Each structure stands twice: as structure tokens, then as C-alpha cells.
Amino acid sequence: MTFEIWCVFALSALGLACVPGPNSLLALSHGARYGYKKTIWTICGGVSGFFILITVAMLGLGTLLEAKPELMIGLQWLGALYLAWLGFKLFFASAISIEQTTTVVSVLPKELFKQGYFAALSNPKVLLFFTAFLAQFINPDEAFIPQFLIITFSFLCIEFAVEYIVARLADKVKTLLLANGRTFNQCCGSIFLLLAAIAVVKSLI
């Protein structure tokens, strides 16, 4: 992979990472509720999920899902259910005060990681997108493994950086966000429920 092609890929990946989605929303919500340091667990979970998606996409599962639409629909419904569960959980969550954010987070790293991980896996259509998107940057005349490692590592670093920035910004303004904590939780929860509904509608089209 030439440096020029890598630059085009990096810019494309940055644009993709900046598009609002379940993981960036989690980074925003957790950054405000738990602080950016604890939200790193959420981000690492999401990056791990994206690693799985990229790996299976590069190994051809995206093509399999295109050939078997019923499998895609089943995965979409599972993803929608998980997003809906996150939405209900956050919508009905009680507001956390600034003082509570320093005491509640000590038992949460594993849970934060799991939420980030499964949020990344919640949309199987990403498999198809990665299959089409990443294929544009693979040179069939060059060794596959080095290109795979470069593309995967670069994308995950960019995704991590964008979500980390979102978490830092949320942490900076958490006084404002948590002052309206119940409303903030309900807004984030509603967005997750909307994403779940969109996933269901798309599976029926």
C-alpha cells in the first residue's frame, strides 16, 4: 500500500468515524456520566467489536450475508433488540450527580467494555459496508496480510481517537449535561430506540 493510498483511506475512515452512530453516542453518554477515563473502557470495547467486524468482512462473510438475505435479517433483528435494550436502560436511568460520578464508576469497567463491544456488533450491515469499503484499498497484486494489518490498525486508531475526543468533550461539559441529567438520559435513550427502529424498518425493506 502506497502512502498516497493510505492517506485517502485515512481521510475516508476519519469521515466514517465522525458519522454519529451507536458507539459515538455511547462515548458521549458515558463521557458525561462516568468521565473520559472510565469511558476508555467503552471505547476499547467498541474498537474490539470493530476489529471483529473488519476481520470477518475481510474474510468474506460480507459476501455470504449478501447471498443469504435471511441470515442478514436475523442478525439485523438481534442488533435492533440490543440497541432497544440499551435505549430503554438509558431512558429510564436515574440522573447522576457530579458527586456520584466519582463513586459509582469503580465497579463499571467490565460493563462499559461489554456495552461498547456489543454496540459495535449491533449492526450487521456494517459487514457489508466494510466489505465494499475496504476492498477499494486492497491491491490484489500485493501481499494481503500486510495490507490487512495496515488498514485494520489505521481504522481502529482513527475510531478510537474520534470516540476519545467525543468522551473528552462530554466530560468537559458534564456539569451542563448532568444538570439536566434526566433529560440527557432520555434524549440519548430515545436516539438508541430510534436506531433500533430504523434497523427493523431497513430489515423489512
Each domain of the chain, given as residue ranges in start order, spans 3-8+22-204
Q: In this predicted structure, what is the pLDDT of residue 46?
A: 92
Per-residue HEC secondary structure of the chain comes to: CCHHHHHHHHHHHHHHHHCCCHHHHHHHHHHHHHCHHHHHHHHHHHHHHHHHHHHHHHCCHHHHHHHCHHHHHHHHHHHHHHHHHHHHHHHCCCCCCCCCHHHHHHHCHHHHHHHHHHHHHCCCHHHHHHHHHHHCCCCCCCCHHHHHHHHHHHHHHHHHHHHHHHHHHHHHCHHHHHHCHHHHHHHHHHHHHHHHHHHHHHHHC
Q: What length is written for the chain?
A: 205
* Cell, residue 165: 475526543
Q: In this predicted structure, what is the pLDDT of residue 99?
A: 43
Count of CA atoms in the C-beta half-sphere (13 A) of 136 = 11
Q: In this predicted structure, what is the pLDDT of residue 158?
A: 93
- In 15-34, which positions are buried (b, 16+ CB within 10 angstroms) versus exposed (e)? ebbeeebbbbbbbbbbbbbb
How far is Cα 186 from Cα 205, in angstroms, rounded to an integer? 29
CA distance from start to end of the chain: 38
- How confident is the prediction along the chain (205 residues), in pLDDT tens digits per residue? 788 888 888 887 887 787 777 888 888 888 888 888 999 999 999 999 999 988 887 776 555 556 666 766 776 677 677 668 777 877 776 655 444 444 444 547 888 999 999 988 876 656 666 766 676 677 767 887 888 889 889 999 999 999 999 999 888 876 665 556 567 667 767 877 887 787 677 667 6
